[in-house]
Chain A
C-alpha cells in the first residue's frame, strides 16, 4: 500500500515543481480564486519585509497572517516552495493514516452491529467489505494531492495549504484517540483561521465514542470528559495566543487577523458569497447582515450534532465543507480539503441523486471563473454581475453536493435498519421521499 502512495507523492511533487518553474506560476498566484487577502503569498512577503524593517507587520492593511506563520517563514522564506510541497504531502499522509484508522473503526462497528443483528435481513449489498475499503485511504491521499485545486493552491503558495495540514493532523490525532494532541491541533487550527472552532463538536463526539461514554446530556461521564477536552483546547489556545503576543509583544494581530475574518473589510472578489453582497449594501445595514452571514458557519453545527451524533466523522466532513462554503475568504484550497473526503463516502454513490449534474456544474463553474474574470477585468465588456453569478452557481453546486451526500448518508442508515426493500402497508413498493 505504501508503494502507490509514494508514487502518488512523487507525481504530485513533480507536477508542483514543474509548475513552480513555469510561467503559469505567476498567473496562478494572482488568481483571486486561489489566493484570498488572508492567504496570499504576496502579503506574507510584505509582512516579512515590514518585520525586517522593525515595523509591526500589522501596521498597514496588507498583512493578515498569524504571528506564528510569519515567524515560520521568517526562517524558511528561502525554502518556501519546499515548505508548501511538504505541507501538501504531510496533509495527504495524515489523511491517509486517519482514514486507514477510520476504516478499521467502521468495519469493527459494522461487525458488531451484524453480530447484534441490528441490520435488516436483506441489506447484504449495503454491507461494506474490506476489499472495497482497502483502497479508500490511497484514494483520499491521491484526491488531495492530485486535485487541481490543491495543486493551484500550492503553486500560488497560498497559506491555506498550511491550515489544511493542521486540520488534517487534527483529524489524525482525533482518529488515533489522542485527546491532548487533538485539542492542541484544533487550537492551532482555530488560531489560524477561527472557523475550525466548529470542529470541536464532531471531535468531542468521536472521542467520547472511543471512550464508550454515551453522548447524553444527563450522563456524568459526558460532562467530565467534555470539560476535560474543552479545558485542554482552551489552555492550548491561550498558550498559543500568549506565545504570539510574546513574539511580537503587541496584541495588534487580534483585530488584524480575527477582526479581519469576522468583519470582512476587504471586498476583493473571490469565490465566496460575501464580497458582492457587502459591496452592494448600504453601510448601516452591513453589521446586521454580517452577523447573519457569519452565523451560517456556526449555526449548522447544532442540528448536525443532534442528527449525526452516531457518525462524528461524517459530521466532521459536512462541517469542513460548510466552513469552506460559508467562510468569509474562501479559496479553492479549502474546497480541496473536503473534496479529499469524497472517496470515503464512495459507498453512498448509489444513493446520490444529482452527482452527475453537480460535478458538471462544479467543473463548468471552475472553468468559467477565469473566463468571466477576463471579460470583466481585462476586456471590460462584462461586469461584476457575471462573475458573481458564477460564484453563486458554484456555491449552490457545493451546497447541493453536500446535501446530496448528507441525504444519501441518512438514506443508507435508514435502509440498513429498515431493510432495502420497503413496502407500504398495502404491500406495494415504497419509496423514501424527502419533504
Chain B
C-alpha cells in the first residue's frame, strides 16, 4: 500500500515512468519476445509426466492380434464405399451388428452459409454410424469414443478397418467398465458437430439431425483415428481444438507413453523430437515445433475431428498414421496394440481427466511449457500498452487539472460527459468510437448477408463474393473513419488525439488480455505485431512511416504473414501469389469455421480488434497541432519535484498554481503573468525561474483549449 499512498514514492515512480518511458517499452518488448523465444530452449521447459493416478503406468498386456482382419475389413469397406458413393450404411450396420455392437445411424443435413470451394460442398447431407459396446462391468454412465472419419476417395479406409477389428477384439474382453462408442462420421467436422450436438441434445449451430436413439453415458475421452495405409512409419498427434482449446496434457502423455512402449515413432506438428538438445539446430528445431503449434492454435481451427469434442468438456486427440520413406514400418497389430493400451488405461479412469495441464505449449512431445511460464511473455507485451497509457494519462492530467470524471466508463463515460459543457477531446471521442464499431459490425454481418446481391451484380461465385466483400469492407474502413473524423473532429487538439490514443491503447490491452486467456497463441500473435506500433503511433513526426507500419500490423497482414511463416515452417514454401491464394482461402475458412462450428476468431477480429485498429488509424489521421516540446518534452526538473506531473491526478497543491484558468487560454508568453491568478486570495508565486519555464509550457499546451475559469466564478458568488 505504500506505493499507493506515499506521495514521495509515487512521485519517484511517476518520474521513472515519464522519463524512462521509451527505454522501458523497448525493454519490455525485447523481454517479451526473448521470453517467448526462450520457451523452446530445453532447460526452460519441463519434462511431461503423467499426473493421473489411474493411468500411472503402461503396465497393460496388450493382446490385440487382429492386424490381418483389420486389413480385410478395410478392403471390404473400401469396396462398399466405392459402390455406395459415400458411407456404406447398410454394410457398416450389418458388420457392426455382427460384431455384437448396438448399432445406430444418425442422418444429418446442413446448408452452409456460402459454398465451401476448397472442399466443394454447399448442401451437405450425410449419415453418422456408430456402434456402442456396452460395458459388462458397470452401468452405462460413462463412455469412451473411438471415432474415424469416413472421407472421400481412398482416405481412411484402413482406419475404419482397424476400428472394426478393435471392436471385435474389445467385444471379447470382460474388463470394460465404460461403454465404448465406435463412430464413423461422414463429412469430417460437420458430421462430428452434428453427432456431438445430437448426443448432448443441444443445437448450437444450425445443423439439422435426427433425434439420437442410443446413448452411452457421459463421454470421458475420445480418440480420433486417421489412417490411410496398410503400414505406418510414424504417428502424428494433433492437439489443437476449436478456439485453440487443448486437451488435458495427460491424454497426450498417455499416447506418447504407449508409443514409446511399442517402439512406435511419434511426432507432433510433423516434427520428430531430436535426441540432442544442447545444439543450435536442436533449439531451432524445437522452436519450429513451438511456432507451428502457436500458429495452429492461433488460427482457432480444429486440427482434427477431436477439436470439437473439447467444447463439450471431453478430452480428445487426433492420431494420424503417417507412411513415409523410412525403413522401419509397423503393421496394424502394433498400431492396434497401442490403441488397445490407451483404451484400457482410459477404462481405468475414476474421474474426468483433470489433474494435468490444460494450458500448455509443446516444443516437443516430451517437453512442455505451462501457462505460468509462457504468460510472462505476453505480460511484458501488455505492459508496454500500460506504460504508454500511464504516460499519456500523466501528460493529459498535467495539462488539465480541472475536476472531471472521464474515461471511467469508456464509452459510457464519453456519452455522459457529452452532456456537459463541450470540452474538446471528450465529445470528439464519440464519433470515432461509433464509426469504428459500426464498420466492425458491417464487416461482420455484410459479407454473408450480401452475398446474393454481390453475385447478381458481379461475375463472381458466392464464395468469392463473400471473401472479396470482406476484403473490400476491410480496406474501405481505412478511408471512412479517416474522412469522417476530419469533418467531425473540428478543432483538432493534441488533447483530442492523446485521449483517443489513450482510449485505444487501453481498449487494445483489454481485448488482448481477454483473448490471451482463451487462446494464448492468438493473443500473442496479435500482441507481438500490434503492440509496438500501437505504442508509437501519433499524428506528428514521420506520419507516413507510421501509416505504413500501422498497415503492416493490421490483423489481415498478420494473417498473411502467419500463412507465409507457416508454409516456411512446414517446409513447403510458397510464392507470394500462392500465399495470396492461401490467404483468400483462409479468410473463407475462417468465416466458415465461425458459422459451422462457432469459432470466435472471425467475430473477435471483426467486432473488436479491427475497430480498435481503426481507432489507432484515427489517431494517426487526427490533426495534431502539437508543438513537439510542449507536452512531449519533460518539463524542466530543476528547482524541485513539484513541477513534475504527478501520477494519476494531482498530487501537489502547488501544481494548481498552473491552472489553465490562469493563462486564460491565450497563448501568452510571459510566464509570470500567466501564473498570477485573479481573485481575492494571494497565490503563492513560484520561484521566478521555474515559473517562467512552466508558464511557457502551459501557455503553449493550452492553445485552443477553452476552459472555464472557476476562480472568477467563485469570486462572483461571495
Which residues of A does B touch, CB under 8 Å?
A: 4, 111, 114-115, 121-125, 127-132, 135, 138-139, 142-143, 146-148, 342-343, 346-357, 359-360, 363-364, 367-368, 371-372, 374-375, 378-382, 400, 407, 415, 420-422, 429, 431-434
Contact = CB atoms under 8 A, between A and B. Distances in A.
Contacts of B514: 367-368, 371
Contacts of B576: none
Nearest to B682: A122
Contact of A148 (B412, B653, B682): B412
Interface of B: 4-8, 10, 245-246, 310-311, 313, 352, 354, 358-359, 390, 393, 397, 401-405, 407-410, 412, 415-416, 419-420, 506, 510, 513-514, 517-518, 640, 642, 647-654, 656, 659, 661, 679-684, 708, 710-711, 713-715, 717-718
Among A125, A143, A400, A433, max chain B CB count under 10 A is at A125
Nearest to A129: B713
Contacts of A374: 518
Nearest to A125: B711
B517 A129 contact: no
A146 B5 contact: no
A148 B408 CA distance: 12
Contacts of B415: 146
30 contacts: A123-B681, A124-B714, A125-B710, A129-B717, A130-B717, A131-B708, A132-B710, A142-B419, A147-B409, A148-B412, A346-B404, A350-B650, A353-B4, A353-B649, A355-B405, A355-B408, A356-B648, A356-B649, A359-B407, A363-B409, A363-B510, A364-B510, A368-B513, A371-B518, A379-B310, A379-B518, A381-B245, A382-B517, A421-B654, A421-B684
B648 A357 contact: yes
Nearest to A430: B653
Given A353-B648, A382-B517, 12 more contacts: A129-B717, A130-B717, A139-B416, A139-B419, A142-B416, A143-B416, A356-B397, A380-B354, A420-B656, A421-B653, A431-B651, A433-B8
A121 B682 contact: yes
B542 to A, nearest CB: 29
A433 B416 contact: no
A125 B403 contact: no
Contacts of A364: 510, 513
Contacts of A375: 517-518
B510 A121 contact: no
B681 A124 contact: yes
B506 A360 contact: yes
A125 B679 CA distance: 9
Contacts of B4: 353-354, 400
A197 B680 CA distance: 45
A350 B679 contact: no
A381 B717 contact: no
A431 B7 CA distance: 8
Given A124-B715, A132-B710, A433-B7, A367 B649 contact: no
A353 B650 CA distance: 7
A125 B659 contact: yes
Contacts of A127: 714, 717-718
Contact of A146 (B311, B412, B710): B412
A367 B711 CA distance: 40
B714 A125 contact: yes
A114 B717 CA distance: 10
Given A349-B405, A350-B656, A138 B713 contact: no
A356 B401 CA distance: 14
Contacts of A353: 4-5, 10, 647-649, 651
9 closest residue pairs by CB, A with B: A381-B358, A349-B403, A122-B681, A127-B714, A380-B313, A129-B713, A356-B648, A359-B408, A350-B650
A47 B129 CA distance: 46
